[in-house]
Amino acid sequence: MNAFPAGTRVFYWSSIGQIIYATVQSSSRLPDGTQLLLIKDDAGEVVTLPAAGVNIAT
Structure confidence by residue, pLDDT tens digits, 3-33: 999 999 999 999 999 999 999 999 999 999 9
pLDDT of residue 26: 97
pLDDT of residue 11: 98
pLDDT of residue 58: 87
Is the predicted pLDDT of residue 1 greater than 90, yes or no?
no
String of DSSP letters for 13-37 = E-TTS-EEEEEEEEEEE-TTS-EEE
Q: How far is CA 43 from CA 23, 31, 39, 56, in A?
A: 11, 31, 11, 18
Is the predicted pLDDT of residue 34 greater than 90, yes or no?
yes
